[in-house]
Structure 1
């Protein structure tokens, strides 16, 4: 299968590497020139569970020219529309697209470029990191839950599911993936912004009673808004899931900390806590914690003069 990975950060490199290794033709698309130059010159260096250098094709999105069979979206949320606009020429009537971005509401943007029945939304618990340009840290295993917008459901994307499972990506077809997407958003909404604002690892932040009160209040706001939108969410189950995830990832600085504090890059806050605040405002539901966290992250971006 001919596959574009739209966004060749850590997770994009992981998926591209595994899909290429299982026999697919994969092209990484990214705008980070140092990353592009490193992979073109030396290949993608994989470290972690294995140590190898793999030749891979990478280019800027606007350079893509061959029509895609399958595209996996791994951009930052705020870069999604720009990516889709740049790759519009390679999106054909049969091109299938899987969105695995963090956050909420991405289907509204994707549907401007992709036929409804060719869109898949999903959530993944795979992890990855970047040591630097052209060097990906791949450790551990994960899964993917996805759902197709096509009326035929799983049958319409069986070839995609089979292709990804042949690459060891452990895909589970989910007839109602939206609650899983909201649950993952709750993980990000309770860990990413809070650890960025407090300059802490997940374990350091979750160690205090005050932090747990903040976490539970954020989850409550997510559940209120999601439920009002018709999403089936169990608040205690989500609290338990977030606490378990925090225990597993205690030593980890989440991605928003990496973006904001470590690398002084814009964050995805508007698509996580900010999305809940916007949805809540439209529904008449108060979300003061999500709104305050969103404002504080934007204030920090301004303090650091990030544009």
Structure 2
């Protein structure tokens, strides 16, 4: 393992905090956390970061914290964990962290994040990853991790090849493994990204539009059929792009396990859509499947309509019908 790599986690909400915790538990010792959440950054600076996971509780100290990436300086690895809607502005703000020797690794949701990063760094510096774990920011300085148990729960690797990206991704995988996750390094991470994005697109957008939890969607025949249609369109598109063959069967077989683990939750996009009335990451989920489908010549009618509904509603949150008190 390469020693003393300087890592900046750009976007340190629930997921960023959990990943940073596993990096430190796994031996990384120069980690900067950057987030606009002043209360969270101050709590970590003053008291450390408390990770709660199936192994118990770990209070981790020694993180550097900042409200802006301008305070960090050049890094060996920049891990991008802002919402995809903020990638462009976040990367502009992190310009001082990046040199020709910096690997930029997106662990964000969805598809197309590598294309956003390629606007700022050469392709050989870009890595991506995805995981199977639930994360919660319980309070400032306290994060909760609910990783999938007994299976690989993180996939990380370069997108376009390149020694620099590969070296950084292997370092992250090594730290995650020693820190308590079950990660896997992949020379080509794209099939894993597509499988995760397809699964997320199905339940995220359907739960959002219907206002139902994953379990409620699973128990409704019509709603579940919508999820499966999204999965089929994603699988057909990935096959047409020569990324992965027949993702569909595996995606469908994984549904009961996902519902057993997370069934009573609203997925993250649904939370943004239903509860917080925020701009969602639909453009990197069902919206991205629609865009890539057009490129590949694959029809994606379910993804098209679901992403159009979410996009239209989130542009008009303040105008929607409300029941009178």
Q: TM-score when scaled to structure 2?
A: 0.85
Q: Indicate yes or no: 2:298 matched with 1:285.
A: yes
For structure 2, list consecutive stretches of 5 or more residues without a partner in the other structure. Answer: 320-325
Correspondent of 2:196 among 173, 176, 184 = 184
Whether the aligned pair in 1 keeps the contact of 2:10 and 2:35 (CA below 8 Å) is yes
> What stretches of structure 1 of length at least 5 have no aligned partner?
none
Classify 1:216/1:261 alpha carbon distance in 2 versus 1 (closer, same or farther; 3 Å).
same
C-alpha contact (below 8 Å) 2:28/2:175 kept by paired residues: no
Show CA shifts across 1:243-289 (max 9, x none): 43233321222111222222222110011101111222344432221
Count residues with an aligned counterpart. 306
Q: Is the CA contact 2:166–2:187 (under 8 Å) kept in the aligned structure 1?
A: no
Tell me if 1:298 matches 2:311.
yes
- 1-side partners of 2:119 and 2:49: how far apart? 33
CA displacement, residues 144-198 of structure 1 (integer Å, 9 cap, x when unaligned): 2122233459974444433333333333112332111111011111111111222
Question: How far apart are the structure 2 equivalents of 1:41 and 1:159?
Answer: 28
SS at match of 1:253: coil
Alpha-carbon distance in 1 for matches of 2:115, 2:106: 12
Q: Tell me if the contact between 1:195 and 1:201 (Cα under 8 Å) persists in the aligned partners.
A: yes
Contact 1:154 1:173 in 2 (8 A): no
What is the CA distance between 1:207 and its match in structure 2? 0.5
CA apart distance, 1:53 = 4.6
Q: Normalising to structure 1: TM-score of the pair?
A: 0.89
Of residues 108, 112, 116, the one that matches 2:119 is: 112
RMSD: 2.4
Contact 2:125–2:164 (8 Å) recurs in 1: no
Corresponding residue of 1:238: 251
Q: Which residue of 1 aligns with 2:287?
A: 274
**3-state SS in 1 of match to 2:96:** helix
Alpha-carbon distance in structure 2 between the residues aligned to 1:102 and 1:132: 22
Against the structure 1 CA distance between its residues 42 and 70, is the aligned structure 2 distance closer, same or farther, given a 3 Å change threshold? same
The verdict on how the C-alpha distance between 1:87 and 1:195 changes in structure 2, with shifts beyond 3 A counting, is same
- Indicate the SS of the match to 1:226: helix
Tell whether 2:228 aligns with 1:228. Answer: no
Task: Return the offset for 1:47.
Answer: 3.9
Tell me the distance in 2 between the aligned counterparts of 1:66 and 1:257. 36
Matched, 1:66 2:66: no
